[in-house]
Amino acid sequence: MPQDLPAAARVALLRALRRFRLPRLPLVRHLLLAVAGGVLLFVITLELSPFDNYELGQIAAYAIAIAGLSLLTGVNGQISLGHGAFMAVGAYTLAELQAHQSVNFVLQLLAATAVAAAAGLVIAVPATRLQGPYLAGMTLLLALALPSLSDRYSSFFGGDQGLPATAPGAPGSLDPQRWLAWLQILAALVVLVLLANLLDSRFGRAFRAVRDDEVAAATLGIHVARTKVTAFMVSAACAGLAGALVALSTGVVSTGEFPLSLSIFLLAGMVIGGAGTLMGAWWGAIAVVYLPNQWSQSLAGAFHLGHLVSANLAVIIFGAALVLVMLLAPAGIQGALRWAAGRLAAWAVAGRGGGNVSKQERQDGHDGAVPALGDGGRPDPIRSTGGRGGA
């Protein structure tokens, strides 16, 4: 019968979903996912050329910045139009430390993170006391103020050439690009695990409560201003670390590396990947690394675009993508993936009555109903709501 095949597939999918259960404890679950992702990326780096590894490392670094921005906008409901400036703060902290002190590489990264968080505090305290567009305007101003500052204090900022940034040497005969990519991927996974735990904690719940309704959050005893400042500091710290890691790849830190368009690319990457999701940061980072260079070059080549058009193609595409994603699919790529996973799970469950599903499984299907997916829930694909049921 023609119906047999889909029915069998449904049963197989339902059984697979039932067996595939992630641990309940957030720390264990997030660590497990990170280790799995790390192993996957490690295997990929072994296959890639040095240049591809260079780009993979950059993707990991940008994923950190976009994840921080995603936490700020998607989870806490604030917006920063100048996160590139915090990347610059982190990168310059690293470069200045390397120029004047001989401190451990890990300490350099931690210092970059801490200084960017402090800069975030300075911006956030006056801007987050009020609801409204103040934070957006101030961060935009910050991103635009940076180039003129480097003109004025060129000895500190290293002028047009900028300052050198050196990556730690690779052990043995290891390819330095591969070694750097490992470091950047490791940093990204550590940060994402920390962020995922933060979002599952008291702080994460406070971030969401403030986003949904500040007055209601305040009546529940949440200190609204402090929560908003904390979220902004966390996201600025992520940007600072990302800036330092990107500087290790490029080898040089100058204010020309952090134009306003970088801040816009970060925002666009976050929106395209899916605001408020940590996985979405990876999709956004891929777009931020590949679109301005390879993709826009191949597009320009394929359509025989003029020099002026191809030079501005990335900016046009990111701008159009920001507008279109907000109009048509505000949940971004990760939202679309979740929606698809939800449809697939719903399809599997809907077919359980028709096929040769055992009685035991049919009962499980009742109390273990598939929760609504794609509504900004947990990142795990399926979650059993009933406590019992032993599939």
Partner 1 sequence: MRLFVDVTLSGVANGMVFASLALALVLVFRATNVVNFAQGAMGMLTTFIAFSVLEHGVGYWVAFAVALACGLVLGGAVQLLVIRPVQSRPPLNAVIVTFGLLILFEGIAGAVWGNSNRGFPAAFSQSGLTIGRTKVAFSHFDVFVVLAVTLLMTAMVALFRATTLGLRMRATAFAPDTARLLGVRVSRLLTLGWALASLAGSLAGLLVAPTTSFSPTFMDLVLVYAFTAAVVGGLHSPPGALVGGLVTGLALSYVGGYLGGALEPLGALALLVVVLMLRPEGLFGAPAARRV
Point out which residues bind partner 1 (CB under 8 A).
73, 77, 79, 81, 126-127, 129-134, 136-138, 140-142, 144-145, 148-149, 151-152, 214-215, 260-261, 264, 267-268, 271, 308-309, 311-313, 315-316, 318-323, 326-327, 330
Nearer to partner 1 by C-beta: 137 or 251?
137
Q: Rounded to the nearest whole angstrom, what is the least distance from the CB of residue 343 to partner 1 in the complex?
A: 23
Q: Rounded to the nearest whole angstrom, what is the least distance from the CB of residue 81 to partner 1 in the complex?
A: 6
Q: Rounded to the nearest whole angstrom, what is the least distance from the CB of residue 374 to partner 1 in the complex?
A: 17
DSSP assignment letter at 74: I
Nearer to partner 1 by C-beta: 150 or 177?
150
What are the tokens at 152?
Answer: 């004025």
Contact 126, 141 (CB under 8 A): no
- Helix, strand, coil percentages for the chain (3-state, nearest 5): 75, 0, 25
Taking the alpha carbons of 263, 266, 268, 270 in that order, is the dihedral positive or negative? negative
Buried b (16+ CB within 10 A) or exposed e, 246-257: bbbbeeebbbeb
To 10 degrees, the CA torsion angle through 266, 74, 228, 30?
-90
Nearer to partner 1 by C-beta: 67 or 135?
135
Nearer to partner 1 by C-beta: 35 or 216?
216
Contact 207, 227 (CB under 8 A): yes
Nearer to partner 1 by C-beta: 198 or 313?
313
* Block residue for tokens 């935009």: 140
Q: Rounded to the nearest whole angstrom, what is the least distance from the CB of residue 387 to partner 1 in the complex?
A: 35
Map residue 164 onto helix, strand or coil.
strand
Nearer to partner 1 by C-beta: 13 or 144?
144
